[in-house]
Structure 1
Amino acid sequence: MTPPTDIETAPPETALARAYATIRTGILEGRFAPGDRLREEHLAEISGVSRTPVREALRRLATEGLVELTPGLGAFVSSWSVTDLENIFAVRALVEAAVAEQAARHLTATDIDALEALAAGMEDLAARRPAGFLDRITGLNHDFHTRIAAACGNDRLAGLLTQTVDLILVHRTFRRYHDRQLVRSMAHHRELVDAFRARDADWAGAVMRAHVHAARHALVADLSLSPPAEPKAP
């Protein structure tokens, strides 16, 4: 592939959106790990744009907390101390519990059926443990929480939640779960579905708060933040 030049041929907004999506997805999916340097030349090549929209995309991602810009050194995937992560989870627990409370009032029967199907899919993967099952659970879990946020009826609250969750996703939470923690997470999903069917906002908020705090403990238990090996299939 011919390296792109600084002369952008695509419309600026299109190029910026492409660069932003490529970098952000790479961070959230783990292709760029916390602390990795993000080189403009490489990012421009894989995005198919010039370095100008890449720089703007990096600045935007820095405002969202996913990227750190260091004068004289460049851009790096953000990494956080245990204290930072504790603070992020504290915010997430407040916001996502509020989202669940509001969603309990707005989710349709079809939405709740879809949530139940997603919960069942995660349980099945956790029980069978096929190759790559944690990544597949992560995808279903994202769909589960995204559907709840979409139904809360408060776009600003949902947007704040998305930004907070993205910061945590960088650390691949499910890869840090031990067997007991994974089972507990699956049980929380089931109980959330029950709370939504009962239209009980207080119940939904309490379960979601417990769910987030359990994830926090799983993530920060290892102070070195070194990811554990994926559990082996029985």
Structure 2
Amino acid sequence: MRSGDQYLALSGDEPSAHPRSPFEKTYRGIVRGIYEGRYAPGQRLIAPDLMAEFQVGRGTIREVLNRLASGGIVSIIKNRGARVRTLSRAETLGILDIVELMLGLAARKAADAITDPDAAAQLQILEQVVQSHKSLTDFDAFLKAREAYYRYIVALSGNAELGRLFPGAQVQIMRLQLRTFNRVADSVQFDDYAKMTSAILSGNGDMAEQAVRRHVRETAAQVAALPDRAFS
């Protein structure tokens, strides 16, 4: 799976083997571009450029941008066009509140369901891959490993709606927007991953949920302490 498809999978838009419509191809392409950093927070999305990139008409671009705007991924400003959304402090912390609740619920359900030895082993393997990137010398590889770890927790929960509703694109915009501030939104507290894995493997739903929610709250606390210039 390509790195940009990781958000699509987590959000429930699992890449399909079937031919895609021009709308679907363009929508997924822009989301993937945000995930991969080709479209940055605040960057203008110029219709003729998108038409050329995705080989679609202006009507399709307008439809896609409206869909992205309704999902909180882009902002459309009258007479100024569309831009990748930038987040205020309140919006950023609001997104993290949602992530805390949803990922915490996924961890609780995963702990309740972690009876298959193969599933337990796979969670441990994915955590070990995350831990192998402690040096952060290959940051993109760390991001991919971390997303795979989170995705697996959501998959273990058995609740497809959690994956579908997870605000993945908004989280990625937040991370890109704040990356120059010591990557505080990138969850590089490596001890947390061991604690989360241990809690899920214990089969104790309360413990698993609290471990994951504490992990997200630590990120939120660091984000809350950033200067005003970090936000829109």
Q: Secondary structure at the match of 2:133?
A: helix
CA separation in 1, counterparts of 2:34 and 2:111? Answer: 32
Alignment partner, residue 196 of structure 1? 200
Aligned equivalent of 1:40: 47
- Contact 2:31-2:169 within 8 A present in 1 as well: no
Paired residue for 2:123?
115
Percent of aligned pairs sharing the same letter = 25
Q: Determine the C-alpha separation between the residues in 1 that align with 2:29 and 2:201.
A: 38
* TM-score, length basis structure 1: 0.80
Distance in 2 of aligned mates of 1:68 and 1:42: 17
Q: Does 1:75 align with 2:82?
A: yes
Size of the aligned set, in residue pairs, is 206
Structural mapping, 1:162-177, within 5 Å? 164-172=167-175, 175=179, 176-177=182-183
Cα shift at 1:13: 5.7
Provide, for residues 25-55 of structure 1, a one-character-per-residue CA deviation record: whole Å limited to 9, x for no partner.
1112221111111011111222232232222
Q: 2:70 aligns with which of 63, 87, 91?
A: 63
Contact 1:111–1:147 under 8 Å retained in 2? no
Which letter maps to 2:132? D
d(CA) in 2 for partners of 1:225, 1:116: 35
**Partner of 2:11 in structure 1?**
none
Runs (5+) with no aligned partner, structure 2: 1-18
**1:126 matched to 2:129:** no
| Secondary structure, counterpart of 1:222 in structure 2 | coil
Query: Residues 75-120 of structure 1, C-alpha deviation per residue, up to 9 Å, x if partnerless?
Result: 1101111111111111221121111101112243323322222221
Partner of 1:4: none
Q: How does 1:137-216 map to 2 (within 5 A)?
A: 137-161=142-166, 164-172=167-175, 175=179, 176-177=182-183, 182=188, 185-216=189-220
1:69 partner SS: strand
Paired residues of 1:119 and 1:189 also in contact (CA < 8 A): yes
Q: Which has the larger radius of gyration?
A: 1
- Structure 2 SS opposite 1:126: coil
Aligned: 1:222 with 2:230:
no
Q: Please give the alpha-carbon distance, in whole angstroms, between the structure 1 residues aligned to 2:31 and 2:208.
A: 30
CA distance in 2, matches of 1:39, 1:172: 23
Q: In structure 1, the residue corresponding to 2:174 is in which secondary structure?
A: coil
Q: CA–CA distance in 2 between the matches of 1:96 and 1:25? A: 22
Runs of 4+ in 1 over 6 A off after TM superposition: none
Between the aligned partners of 2:169 and 2:74, the Cα distance in structure 1 is 12
CA distance in 2, matches of 1:146, 1:58: 27
Give the TM-score normalised by the residue count of structure 2.
0.80
Is the contact made by 1:39 and 1:74 (CA closer than 8 Å) also made in structure 2? yes
**1:61 Cα deviation after fit:** 1.2
Task: Give me the whole-angstrom Cα distance separating, in 1, the residues matched to 2:223 and 2:94.
Answer: 13
Shift of 1:17: 1.0
TM-align CA RMSD: 2.2
Post-superposition offset of 1:151: 2.0
Between the aligned partners of 1:21 and 1:195, the Cα distance in structure 2 is: 35
Within the candidate set 11, 22, 31, 2:29 is matched to: 22
1:219 shift after superposition: 3.1
